[in-house]
């Protein structure tokens, strides 16, 4: 569940769905709800800054600094920290960045209206695990993500 207070239920459910998609339900339950996960599944403890751990992903032929509930790369954290005047990489800061990314894709009206498929399509270039992302990584099935959204309290149109 997002740590940001007073989120509209569909928006909170959408953030939960992204976490399920990016982190997976098993690791979510073994972590601080995904907020302290480094790509590859290790955990970090210090929220004062992005962990900035470069993890080799040989199956994909890349290395990544993705971390947190929404698997944010360090370079994006640096930019959003400045843009949003964030103090750290805390759960609240991670939520704020994810919400800003969704806002930039103009998906918030779709989420609020329950137009889930449209919102996922608009956000697919942000999160590699969303269907249609095209990054060569595992993409989750839209039907499974829709189920995660509803299970998190989201309401479809």
Q: Which residues are catalytic?
A: 22
Structure token digits, residue 68: 């947190």
What string of H, E and C letters represents the secondary structure of the chain? CCCCCCCCHHHHHHHHHHHHHHHCHHHHHCCCCCCCEECCCCECCCCCCCCCCCEEECCCCEEECCECCCCECHHHHHHHHHHHCCCCCCHHHHHHHHHHHHHHCCCHHHHHHCCHHHHHHHHCCCCCCCCCCCCCCCCCCHHHHHHHHHHCCCCCC
């Amino acid at each position: 569940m997002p740590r940001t207070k007073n989120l509209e239920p569909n928006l909170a459910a959408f953030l939960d769905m992204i976490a399920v998609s990016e982190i997976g339900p098993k690791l979510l339950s073994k972590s601080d709800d995904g907020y302290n996960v480094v790509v590859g599944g290790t955990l970090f403890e210090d929220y004062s800054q992005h962990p900035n751990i470069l993890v080799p992903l040989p199956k994909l032929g890349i290395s990544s600094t993705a971390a947190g509930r929404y698997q944010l790369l360090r370079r994006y954290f640096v930019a959003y920290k400045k843009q949003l005047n964030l103090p750290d990489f805390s759960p609240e800061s991670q939520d704020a960045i994810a919400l800003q990314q969704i806002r930039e894709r103009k998906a918030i009206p779709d989420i609020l209206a329950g137009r889930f498929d449209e919102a996922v399509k608009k956000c697919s270039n942000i999160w590699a695990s969303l269907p249609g992302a095209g990054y060569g990584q595992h993409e989750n099935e839209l039907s499974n993500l829709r189920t995660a959204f509803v299970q998190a309290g989201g309401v479809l149109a």
